[in-house]
Amino acid sequence: MSSEKEKGSKSRKEKIIREITRYWINVLYLSVIFSVFFNYQRLILAHYEIRFGDYGIGIIKALVLAKVILIADAIGLGRRWEDKPLIVPTLFKTLLFTLFVGLFSIIESMIRGLLTGKGPINEVMGMLSYVLLAHVIVVFVTFIPYFAFRELGRVMGGGKLRALFFHGKDEPARV
């Protein structure tokens, strides 16, 4: 009986560690992408002597969206497409999570409007422009390899994709 408890406890502990690891890998990937995009935007605007002050917003977005991705995975969002060719679940999840990013950007803009006193509607109307469209396009394109690798790893199973990337041919894979 105690052996079963220990096994269940170990299994639960491994699952928690795996989920925390997945979360921080997602945060890292999204932070890099959003930081690159916001720095690109800042540099373009600086060329025209326009100040851009959203320095930490990429990391905050990454922290929130990484959690959204884990929750969506937990509830099985997009699983009905997993028996199709890999391009189908990859593009479906890419589109779905790009919509989440767009929605999150609108909500973020509303909160900023409330905090700055401009009003949530005025702030949202100000951001519904080419900047939001550019942001959504960049996120869509960056999510394609992200979900392609995730789907490929799911199909290959058991950490084989990770082993191919991080272990030599002759070195045994540690899963």
The pLDDT assigned to 144 comes to 95
The pLDDT assigned to 50 comes to 84
The pLDDT assigned to 128 comes to 67
The pLDDT assigned to 90 comes to 94
Q: Dihedral of the CA atoms 14, 20, 21, 22 (nearest 10)?
A: 110
Tally the C-alpha atoms within 13 A of residue 165's C-alpha that lie toward its C-beta: 8
The pLDDT assigned to 24 comes to 96
The pLDDT assigned to 20 comes to 94
The pLDDT assigned to 86 comes to 93
Task: Note the pTM of the prediction, 2 decimals.
Answer: 0.75
41 and 52 Cβ atoms separated by less than 8 Å: yes
CA 108 from chain centre, in angstroms, equals: 16
In the chain, where the domains are located: 2-166
* Tens place of pLDDT per residue across the chain (175 aa): 556 666 667 788 998 998 999 999 999 999 998 888 888 888 888 888 888 776 677 888 889 889 888 888 888 877 888 889 999 999 999 998 888 878 877 887 778 778 887 777 766 666 667 777 887 888 899 899 999 999 998 898 868 888 888 876 665 555 4
